[in-house]
Amino acid sequence: MSADGGGRTCAGRPTTNFVSAGTRFIVDARYELIKAIGHGAYGVVVSARDNDTGGKVAIKKIPCVFEDAVDAKRVLREIKLLRHFRHDNIIGLIDLQPPPTAVLADFVDIYMVFELLETDMQRVISSRQVLSEDHIKYFVYQLLRGVKGLHSAGVIHRDLKPSNLLLNADCDLKVCDLGLARGITRSERGSAADLTPRKSASSKTGQDGGTGVAEEEEPDQTGSELLTEYVVTRWYRAPEIMLSCSEYTRAVDMWAVGCIITELYLRKTLFPGKDYIHQLRLIADVCGTPPDEELNFVKSKKARRFMSDMRRREPRDFRELLPTASAEAIDMITRLLVWHPERRMTAVEALRHPCVLLLLSLRACPHARISASCCDTCAYLPA
Ligand SMILES: Nc1ncnc2c1ncn2[C@@H]1O[C@H](COP(=O)(O)OP(=O)(O)OP(=O)(O)O)[C@@H](O)[C@H]1O
Ligand SMILES: [Mg+2]
């Protein structure tokens, strides 16, 4: 890690120049490097002191952003969405660095400045930190609020997983990484064709089931064209995505929420599939094979046949799988890990579930929208 003096941005502000985790950062001189804190498929993230405010921030560098039009659009979409949200449980974008010079060719990297949180849920799950039922319920409550905030704005996150949930020592939770999020405008549904892989991503199959690039390399074990081309991290991916449904809904996020809650109790991934087929088999081992009438959401004949040919399995009893979980938590998980997307609980329904209802009723709506329905901004529901 090193730092040295820099030049000026095109806005005339002095810049500083440092290398962290092998990546050079050129940012406004008000930011002073603290340390590298993470890296994902897209960029390197560092923590920094903001000498103008005295606070701390996280800076994510997305290098060479204009080399690929698909990636560039994705980053633009992420920025636009982040600028839209002001929500306790969605990460706040504080600043975007201006281009380093007025010369267009010099504008190659994007630096996004976020509020800084201390860690992410992936790290907590793999640490020795004890997680009580109360901890878990508080995380779940905040996760549902964040998801409700996204969904009520017509946005599907599409990549919910523990490493995209940031946490503070006081248990605050914020959803981050809207890199794959999409707005749904005219109808509830989006097209699965949107789910193309991140082109510049390095594959990370070991960590969390990988992203798009890893998927492209996977052999198609069914010999069909059905199970191709999806990107949402495999281990948290809803069955309808793998079953080649051409439409996806907010329910894909709710499947991921079910996987995440289970992982908080298990302290390991529920469905660590090695490929699409293995992923579906692991799901069937726990949720049971769905009866044919439950598969009417699968439009493709080949995918339906694949499911019908699967060896029949009964659903496992979640009480045995998660002996430390309360009855309410088990009930919530059972209503989330449902094959049929339309029968899966929505974020609003989940926030009304006894598992988190007490937390919800303890909290006043900061938007003063206390009515029979819930406040779309903060997900407040009257007790
Ligand atoms: N604001 C923040 N505060 C603290 N840590 C953060 C912050 N933003 C990101 N991180 C850390 O950096 C990691 C990568 O960030 P992020 O998920 O935004 O990048 P990405 O490249 O889009 O990741 P992915 O591999 O999920 O696509 C996070 O998992 C988290 O550990
Ligand atoms: Mg991420």
Q: Rounded to the nearest whole angstrom, what is the distance from the C-alpha of residue 371 to the centroid of ligand 2?
A: 35
* Ligand 1 and 160: CB distance under 6 A: no
* Ligand 1 and 163: CB distance under 6 A: yes
174 and 230 in a single domain? The answer is: yes
87 and 188 in a single domain? The answer is: no
235 and 306 in a single domain? The answer is: yes
Q: Which residues pair with 18 in a beta bridge?
A: 3, 25
Residues 168-172: what's their mean pLDDT?
Answer: 92
The Cα 348–Cα 168 span in angstroms is 25
The pocket of ion ligand 2, defined by CB under 5 A, consists of 40, 164, 177
278 and 354 in a single domain? The answer is: yes
Among 115, 147, 165, where does a domain finish? 115
* Ligand 1 and 120: CB distance under 6 A: yes
**Whether pLDDT at 243 is above 70:** yes
Average pLDDT of the chain, as a whole number: 83
Q: pLDDT tier at 293 (50, 70, 90 boundaries)? A: confident
pTM of this structure: 0.86
329 and 281 in a single domain? The answer is: yes
The Cα 37–Cα 122 span in angstroms is 13
The highest-confidence range among 196-200, 210-214, 298-302, 345-349, by mean pLDDT, is: 345-349
Q: Rounded to the nearest whole angstrom, what is the distance from the C-alpha of residue 197 to the centroid of ligand 1?
A: 18
- Pocket of ligand 1, candidates 120, 125, 213: which has the most ligand atoms within 8 Å of its Cβ, to mutate? 120
Tokens of 79: 């920025």
Q: pLDDT tier at 225 (50, 70, 90 boundaries)? A: very low
Among 115, 143, 160, where does a domain finish? 115
Q: Rounded to the nearest whole angstrom, what is the distance from the C-alpha of residue 34 to the centroid of ligand 1?
A: 16
Q: Tell me if 17 is assigned to some domain.
A: no
Q: Tell me if 1 is assigned to some domain.
A: no
**Whether pLDDT at 72 is above 70:** yes
CB 150 within 8 A of CB 175: yes
Q: Which domain holds residue 242?
A: 119-382
Residue, of 144 and 231, whose pLDDT is higher: 144
Q: Which atom of ligand 1 is nearest to the CA of 179?
A: 22
Q: pLDDT tier at 217 (50, 70, 90 boundaries)? A: very low
**Whether pLDDT at 220 is above 80:** no
Q: Tell me if 5 is assigned to some domain.
A: no
Give the CATH number for residue 44. 3.30.200.20
Q: What is the residue whose two structure tokens read 């995209």?
A: 164
**Whether pLDDT at 195 is above 60:** no
* Ligand 1 and 149: CB distance under 6 A: no
Residues 51-55: what's their mean pLDDT?
Answer: 96
Q: What is the reported pLDDT for 370?
A: 39
Q: What is the pLDDT of residues 354-363, one digit of tens each?
A: 998 767 655 5
Q: What is the pLDDT of residues 94-146, one digit of tens each?
A: 999 988 888 888 899 999 999 999 999 999 999 999 999 999 999 999 999 99
Q: Tell me if 366 is assigned to some domain.
A: yes
Q: Tell me if 19 is assigned to some domain.
A: no
Q: Tell me if 213 is assigned to some domain.
A: yes
108 and 185 in a single domain? The answer is: no
Q: Tell me if 107 is assigned to some domain.
A: yes
273 and 318 in a single domain? The answer is: yes
**Whether pLDDT at 280 is above 50:** yes
Least confident of 234-238, 265-269, 298-302: 298-302
Give the CATH number for residue 213. 1.10.510.10
Domain count, the chain: 2
134 and 157 in a single domain? The answer is: yes
Q: Which of 282, 274, 230 minimizes the C-alpha distance to 252?
A: 230
Q: What is the reported pLDDT for 124?
A: 96
Q: Which atom of ligand 1 is nearest to the CA of 120?
A: 31
Q: What is the reported pLDDT for 2?
A: 46
Q: Locate the DSSP E strands across the chain.
A: 2-8, 14-20, 23-28, 31-39, 44-50, 56-62, 93-96, 110-115, 119-120, 155-156, 165-167, 173-175, 182-183, 190-191, 247-248
Q: Tell me if 156 is assigned to some domain.
A: yes
Q: Kindly report the number of other CB atoms within 10 A of residue 14's CB atom.
A: 12
* Ligand 1 and 176: CB distance under 6 A: yes
Torsion of CA 116, 184, 180, 274, to 10 degrees: 120
Q: pLDDT tier at 264 (50, 70, 90 boundaries)? A: very high
137 and 56 in a single domain? The answer is: no
Q: What is the reported pLDDT for 278?
A: 95
CB 370 within 8 A of CB 382: yes
66 and 211 in a single domain? The answer is: no
Among 80, 115, 150, where does a domain finish? 115
94 and 124 in a single domain? The answer is: no
Q: What is the pLDDT of residues 249-261, one digit of tens each?
A: 999 999 999 999 9
94 and 191 in a single domain? The answer is: no
